[in-house]
Chain A
Amino acid sequence: MGEDPRDKSSIQPGRSAVIAPGHTFATVTDKISSIVLTRRTPLFWFVPFLIASGLLMVFLAAVGYLFARGVGIWGIRVPVMWGWAITNFVWWIGIGHAGTLISAILLLLRQSWRNSINRFAEAMTLFAVACAGMFPLLHLGRPWLFYWLFPYPNSMGVQPQFRSPLVWDVFAVSTYATVSAMFWFVGLIPDLATLRDRARNRWARATYGILAMGWRGAASHWQKYETASLLLAGLATPLVLSVHTVVSFDFTVAIVPGWHSTIFPPYFVAGAIYSGFAMVLVLAIPLRAMYGLEDLITMRHLDNMAKVMLATGQIVAYSYLFEAFIAWYSGNTYEMFAIWNRMTGPYAPTYWLLIFCNLVFPQLLWLKKIRTNIVWLFVMSLDVLLGMWLERYVIVVVSLHRDFLPSSWGIYSPTIWDVATFVGTIGLFFFLFFLFIRSMPMISIFEVRTLLPQAEVTEGIEK
C-alpha cells in the first residue's frame, strides 16, 4: 500500500463517509481487537457494569420473592391481569427488532454502512429477547412449569391450545431467539479467530480458539461463511416482520375494545423498529465516545439511524391518528368509548405523554441539525424509548381497565415489585451488554475492513 488511502476514499460531496478516512486493514483490526485484548479495562466500563450488576441483584431479589409469593406481589388485579409484565415484554421484544433489521434486512439490501453497527446491535437483540422472555414466564404464576408451553409428550395427555396466539408467541419468540443467536454467532466466527490469533493469554487463546471452531480464513471457509450468513439473513428477514406481528395478535385476536384492531400488526412492527433504533442509538452514542470509535461509527451512521427512526415514527404516528379515526368512523359505542377513555379517562396523562414522546417531539428529527447533534439524538432516543413503553402501557392497561361491563371496571397501579422486576431486567440487559463489549469485538472487524477503499475490487483492469 504505497498510496495514501485517502485519495481513493469514497466521500460523496456533502455527505460524510461510512468510516472516517485514514484507516488501513491493520489499524481497523488493531483498534477493535485492542479493546478486548490489550487495553486496560477502563473505569467507564467498571462503573456502569457495577451499577448493572446491582440492578441484576434487584432483579434476582424480585424474582426470588415472586417465586415464593406468586404473581399477587404485582399490581395485577381483575380486570387488569396483564399490567407491567406484558408491557415490558412487548417493549423489550420490540427493541430487539432493530438488531435483526440491521443485520439481516440491511445485509440483503447491501447497505454497507450497517457493517460497523450490526455486531453490537445483534447482541442488543439477543439480550433484549432474553429480558423480554422473562416476563411472560414470570407472569405464568408457576414459572418453573414453563416447559408446559411447548408441545411434548406428557403425562397429562394434553397439548397447548394451538388456536391461541399466546402459543404462537412461544414459537415466534423462541424461533427469533434461536435464529438471532445463530446469526450472531456465525457472524462472530472470523473475528473470534482474529482474537484467538492475537490473544497472548493462554486461556483466552483456548477459549477464543474453541469458539472460532477451527476458522483459518481459507477461501473455502469464506465461501461457506458467505452462504451461511446469507441463508441466516434470509431466515431472519421474515422474523423482523413476523415476531411483532404475532405479538400484536396477542391483543388483536381478543375482543377487548382498544385491542381488536386490524391495524396492529404493521403498527407494532413499525413501533418495534422505532424503539429498537432508539436503543441502538442509546448504546452507540456513549460507546463511540468512550472508546473513541467516532471514526468507525460516524455521524453518517447516527444520521441514517435517526432517519430510520423518523420514518418508522411517522408510521407509528399515522397509526395513532387512524386508531382514533377508525374508532369514530366505526360508529361502535365501545370502540369510541375506548379511545375517548384513553384521551380523557383516569390514564389520560400517560396517553398525552405518549403522544408527545412518540409523535410530537421526534418531528425535530426532520432537521439535519438535530440528527447530527449527538446530545439531541441521545435525548431523542431516550424519549422514544419512554414513548414506546408508554404506548404498550396504554394499550395493555387502559384497554383492560374499562371494557364492556362498567360493573367490572377497575383501576390498576403497579407495585414496588413491578418496578423492581422491570428495572431489574434493565440491569440484566446492561450486565450482559457490558460483558459482551469486554469479551467480544463489539464492531465486526472483518466487515468493517470491507468498507475500506483498499477492499474495493476493480474487475479486469491492470494498473
Chain B
Amino acid sequence: MSQIFYPSTNTFSRLSIFGGIFIVAFLVWAWAELNESTYATRAKVPIQQPVPFSHEHHVGGLGIDCRYCHTSVENSSFANIPPTKTCMNCHSQIWNRAPMLEPVRESFRNDSSIRWIRVHDLPDYVYFNHSIHVAKGVGCTTCHGQVNKMPLMWQENSLQMSWCLDCHRHPERFVRPRSQVFSVNWQPPPNQVDMGRKLVKEYNIQSLTSCSTCHR
C-alpha cells in the first residue's frame, strides 16, 4: 500500500496545533475588540438631526446654560428634550427667516413635534436618573463630553456597563463640586482624587454596585 501522507505532514500537523491555538486566541481577541469599538457602541459618531442643531454654537458660543433647555435635569430621571416653543423663544425674533430653521417653524405652526434622533439611548432594562447624579456632583460633561465643542451631537462615551461601573466603583475620580456641575469647561484638578474623597464624604456619595441599583 502506498503512503497516504508524506513526511512533511508531520510538520504541517504540528503547525496546525499551534496555529489552531493562535487562531482561536485571535478570534476571541478580535471579538472582544469589536465589542468595545466605536462601531459597536456608536460612540463619537455625529448623529444627523432633522435640524442641524449645534451645541457648539448655543453652549460654547452663546453661553446658554444646559438647564435653559434641559429643564428637568435637576429633579427628574429625564433631563428633557426641549419643546419647539423653547426654540421659538429666540427664533421668533432672530434668524426667523433662515431656511435651515424651517422645520422648527413648521413644527410651531402645526403644533407637531420635531422628530429628534435620540443620541444617548440606554437599554430599557437599565434604570437611570439624572437628578441624583447632578445632585451628587456628577457634571454634565463627565458623561456627555464637552458639548460646547460638538457642532452636531454625538455620544461621547461607550455607555457600556463597565463604563458605568468605572464611576460607581470609584466615584472620587469623577465627582466635582456641586457649583461646577453645569460648567462645560471644568477640568479635573491635579488633586482630583484627594478632592474627590472629600466630596464623596461631604455629599454622602455611596458606591452603589448591586445589580438592583440599575436593573430594577
Whether B161 lies near A209 (C-beta < 8 A) is no
Whether B13 lies near A156 (C-beta < 8 A) is no
Q: Say yes or no: A206-B160 contact (C-beta < 8 A), given A153-B32, A157-B165, A214-B13.
A: no
B212 proximal to A (CB < 8 A): no
A407 proximal to B (CB < 8 A): no
Interface residues on B, range: 10 to 19
Whether B161 lies near A214 (C-beta < 8 A) is no
Taken together as a complex, chains A and B put the C-alpha atoms of A336 and B160 apart, in Å, by 49
Whether A155 lies near B35 (C-beta < 8 A) is yes
Interface residues on A, range: 10 to 19
Among residues of A, the one whose C-beta sits closest to the C-beta of B165 is A157
Among residues of B, the one whose C-beta sits closest to the C-beta of A206 is B4
A193-244 residues at the B interface, CB under 8 angstroms: 196, 205-206, 209-210, 213-214
Which chain B residues border A206 with CB–CB below 8 Å? 4
A154 proximal to B (CB < 8 A): yes
Whether B158 lies near A155 (C-beta < 8 A) is yes
Which chain A residues border B10 with CB–CB below 8 Å? 214
Whether A209 lies near B4 (C-beta < 8 A) is yes
Whether B162 lies near A154 (C-beta < 8 A) is yes
Whether A209 lies near B5 (C-beta < 8 A) is yes
Taken together as a complex, chains A and B put the C-alpha atoms of A336 and B26 apart, in Å, by 56
Which chain B residues border A210 with CB–CB below 8 Å? 13
Taken together as a complex, chains A and B put the C-alpha atoms of A152 and B163 apart, in Å, by 16
B106 proximal to A (CB < 8 A): no
A461 proximal to B (CB < 8 A): no
Which chain B residues border A153 with CB–CB below 8 Å? 32
Whether A157 lies near B162 (C-beta < 8 A) is yes
Taken together as a complex, chains A and B put the C-alpha atoms of A213 and B163 apart, in Å, by 47
A47 proximal to B (CB < 8 A): no
B150-192 residues at the A interface, CB under 8 angstroms: 158, 160-166
Taken together as a complex, chains A and B put the C-alpha atoms of A206 and B4 apart, in Å, by 7
Among residues of B, the one whose C-beta sits closest to the C-beta of A154 is B162
A109 proximal to B (CB < 8 A): no
A367 proximal to B (CB < 8 A): no
A145 proximal to B (CB < 8 A): no
Which chain A residues border B13 with CB–CB below 8 Å? 210, 213-214
B110 proximal to A (CB < 8 A): no
Whether B161 lies near A157 (C-beta < 8 A) is yes
How many Å from the CB of A273 to the closest CB on chain B? 34
**Which of A155, A156, A206 has the most chain B CB atoms closer than 10 A to its own CB?**
A155
A158 proximal to B (CB < 8 A): yes
Which chain A residues border B35 with CB–CB below 8 Å? 154-155
How many Å from the CB of A119 to the closest CB on chain B? 24
Which chain B residues border A213 with CB–CB below 8 Å? 13
Residue interface mask A321-365, B partner, CB < 8 A = 1? 000000000000000000000000000000000000000000000
8 contacts between A and B (CB under 8 A): A155-B160, A157-B164, A157-B166, A158-B165, A196-B4, A205-B4, A213-B13, A214-B5
B residues lining the A interface (CB < 8 Å): 4-5, 9-10, 13, 28, 32, 35-36, 158, 160-166
